[in-house]
């Protein structure tokens, strides 16, 4: 068995099975922790009846999705209606293959590196993740179209505009790190953060980190960017007509995208599997135990971002759609473009990894953004700018 694992193909196949099983479990229990965190924030108990502390609740929810009646309305486009949730779940479950989970590994203990703890390590691994994220919009579009329901279609179109708009600042924020590191390989991006004093990219470019984090909320349709599921005006959004397992696949796909997105931001800005001053987490630590420790650290960092996703959902109110689009096109896009131009200049002058220049430039740009938003910013109201003013106290007509 150990001799098989010394071959990268068989090691990657075994790692894929392990991580797939872990992700399936994590996706199911994300629903449990979502309900527990919301209950904690609202001073409730949450799931507590099915098993100790309600830990068997995800199994009960899964059984409910499997056993409920699967209704397909007569007027839907049946092939697309069935395909949309499958696309949403499938795309969410294949993004993890390029994430660097545990660095290089010496399987047989002879001191020589045998394999890399990564399912696939293509030279364009970052582009693969961006491509998978871009394809996710098709599940929303096809789901809304196949419903043959105008409210679901409106929700799908709104979600499409949102996801396409926020992909632009997301790509620019990622381009900042690509310019600084000079590589599209995620493993190389992790290793680049371990040299020169173990400075993570979040220290070099905190603005790019904030932009990427914000766009991930929009790309995964999470509050305050869940305009695709605005129940107040669109019933249930693009999945209004779905039921049973197909309805559940949309939510499982959403959590899978959250896990992959959290892994991306950890690898890009938080050193991946690295923690400073912790033995066993250096690139030269290649034992099986070091691999397990590195995978555990990466998993804990991903779990921290999943908690952040859930925390924000139960804290911030939903944006209005014009506010959401304005934030992307007039807010994050100019800042991301300025960061890319500045980083390009730093690469040209040979200062791309000098923290005094990278962090200083981010601080100056942030100060400029605050001044401009303070001078030119319009007050936040409950009405769109083009709508007429409302008189709060209308005078009564004379009798």
Please write the tens of the pLDDT for every residue from 87-119. Answer: 888 888 888 888 888 888 877 777 677 788 888
Confirm whether 2 is domain-assigned: no
With H, G, I as helix, E, B as strand and everything else as coil, classify residue 167: helix
Confirm whether 387 is domain-assigned: no
| Dist. CA 214–CA 130, nearest whole Å | 16
Confirm whether 57 is domain-assigned: no
Q: Using the predicted structure, report yes or no on whether residue 393 has a pLDDT greater than 70.
A: no
| Dist. CA 255–CA 28, nearest whole Å | 9
Mean pLDDT of 25-54: 87
Mean pLDDT of 186-191: 89
Q: Exposure of 395 by Cβ count < 10 A (0-12 exposed, 13-18 middle, 19+ buried)? A: exposed
Write the secondary structure of 356-394 as one string of H (helix), E (strand) and C (coil). HHHHHHHHHHHHHHHHHHHHHCCCCCCCCCCCCCCCCCC
Confirm whether 295 is domain-assigned: yes
pLDDT bracket for residue 303 (50, 70, 90): very high
Name which of 329, 330, 320 is nearest 381 in CA terms.
Answer: 320
The reported pLDDT for the residue numbered 337 is: 94
The reported pLDDT for the residue numbered 233 is: 59
With H, G, I as helix, E, B as strand and everything else as coil, classify residue 60: helix
Strand partners, 116: 104
Question: How confident is the model over 14-36, as pLDDT tens digits?
Answer: 888 988 888 888 888 888 888 89
The reported pLDDT for the residue numbered 363 is: 92
Instruction: Find out whether 306 and 30 touch, Cβ atoms under 8 Å.
Output: yes
* H or E stretch at 86: helix 78-94
Confirm whether 51 is domain-assigned: no
The residue ranking higher by pLDDT, 318 or 126, is: 126
Kindly state the DSSP code that residue 228 receives in the 8-state scheme: G
Question: What is the rounded radius of gyration, in angstroms, for the C-alpha atoms of the chain?
Answer: 23
Confirm whether 317 is domain-assigned: yes
Tally of structural domains, the chain: 1
The reported pLDDT for the residue numbered 395 is: 53
| Dist. CA 357–CA 350, nearest whole Å | 11
The reported pLDDT for the residue numbered 302 is: 92
Confirm whether 27 is domain-assigned: no
The reported pLDDT for the residue numbered 252 is: 85
Q: Is the dihedral of CA 136, 142, 147, 153 positive or negative?
A: positive
Lowest mean pLDDT among 146-150, 226-230, 245-249: 226-230
End-to-end CA distance of the chain: 94
pLDDT bracket for residue 164 (50, 70, 90): confident
| Dist. CA 389–CA 320, nearest whole Å | 18
- pTM beyond 0.75: the answer is yes
The domain containing residue 342 runs over which residues?
A: 73-374
Instruction: Find out whether 25 and 93 touch, Cβ atoms under 8 Å.
Output: no
pLDDT bracket for residue 238 (50, 70, 90): confident
Instruction: Find out whether 250 and 27 touch, Cβ atoms under 8 Å.
Output: no
Quote the percentage of the chain above a pLDDT of 90: 18
Q: Is the dihedral of CA 132, 125, 302, 64 positive or negative?
A: positive
Confirm whether 186 is domain-assigned: yes
Quote the percentage of the chain above a pLDDT of 70: 90
The reported pLDDT for the residue numbered 304 is: 93
Lowest mean pLDDT among 44-48, 149-153, 218-222, 345-349: 149-153
Mean pLDDT of 135-164: 83
Number of helices and strands in the chain (H, E): 15, 2
Mean pLDDT of 383-399: 59
Name which of 272, 344, 261 is nearest 305 in CA terms.
Answer: 261
Mean pLDDT of 344-369: 90
Residue 124 corresponds to which tokens in the numbers above? 């364009």
pLDDT bracket for residue 129 (50, 70, 90): confident
Q: Is the dihedral of CA 310, 311, 315, 319 positive or negative?
A: negative
Mean pLDDT of 111-132: 83
Mean pLDDT of 41-50: 87
pLDDT bracket for residue 138 (50, 70, 90): confident
């Amino acid at each position: 068995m150990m001799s098989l694992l010394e071959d990268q193909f068989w090691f990657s196949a075994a790692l894929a099975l392990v991580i797939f099983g872990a992700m399936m479990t994590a996706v199911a229990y994300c629903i449990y922790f979502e309900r527990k965190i919301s209950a904690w924030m609202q001073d409730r108990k949450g799931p507590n009846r099915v098993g100790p502390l309600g830990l068997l609740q995800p199994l009960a929810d899964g059984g409910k999705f499997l056993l409920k009646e699967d209704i397909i309305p007569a007027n839907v486009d049946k092939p697309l209606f069935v395909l949309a949730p499958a696309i949403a779940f499938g795309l969410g479950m294949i993004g993890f293959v390029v994430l660097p989970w545990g660095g290089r590994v010496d399987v047989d203990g002879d001191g020589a590196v045998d394999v890399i703890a990564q399912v696939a390590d293509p030279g364009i691994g970052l582009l693969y993740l961006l491509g998978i994220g871009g394809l996710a919009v098709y599940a929303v579009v096809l789901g809304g179209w196949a419903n043959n329901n105008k409210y679901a279609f409106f929700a799908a179109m709104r979600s499409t505009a949102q996801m396409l708009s926020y992909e632009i600042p997301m790509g620019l924020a990622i381009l900042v790190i690509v310019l600084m590191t000079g590589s599209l390989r995620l493993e190389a991006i992790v290793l680049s953060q371990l040299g020169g004093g173990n400075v993570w990219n979040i220290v070099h470019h905190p603005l790019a980190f904030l932009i990427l984090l914000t766009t991930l909320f929009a790309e995964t349709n999470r509050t305050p960017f869940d305009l695709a599921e605005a129940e107040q005006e669109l019933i249930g959004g693009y999945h209004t007509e779905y039921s049973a397992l197909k309805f559940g696949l949309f939510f499982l796909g959403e959590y899978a995208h959250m896990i992959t997105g959290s892994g991306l931001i950890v690898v890009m800005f938080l050193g991946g599997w690295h923690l400073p001053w912790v033995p066993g987490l250096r690139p030269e630590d290649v034992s099986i135990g070091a691999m397990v420790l590195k995978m555990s650290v990466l998993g804990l960092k991903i779990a921290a971002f999943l908690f952040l996703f859930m925390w924000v959902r139960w804290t911030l109110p939903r944006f209005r759609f014009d506010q959401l689009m304005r934030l992307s096109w007039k807010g994050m896009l100019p800042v991301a473009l300025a960061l890319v131009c500045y980083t390009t200049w730093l690469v040209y002058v040979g200062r791309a990894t000098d923290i005094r220049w990278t962090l200083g430039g981010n601080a100056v740009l942030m100060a400029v953004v605050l001044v401009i938003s303070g001078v030119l910013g319009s007050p936040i109201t409950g009405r769109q700018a083009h709508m007429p003013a409302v008189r709060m106290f209308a005078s009564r007509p004379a009798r």
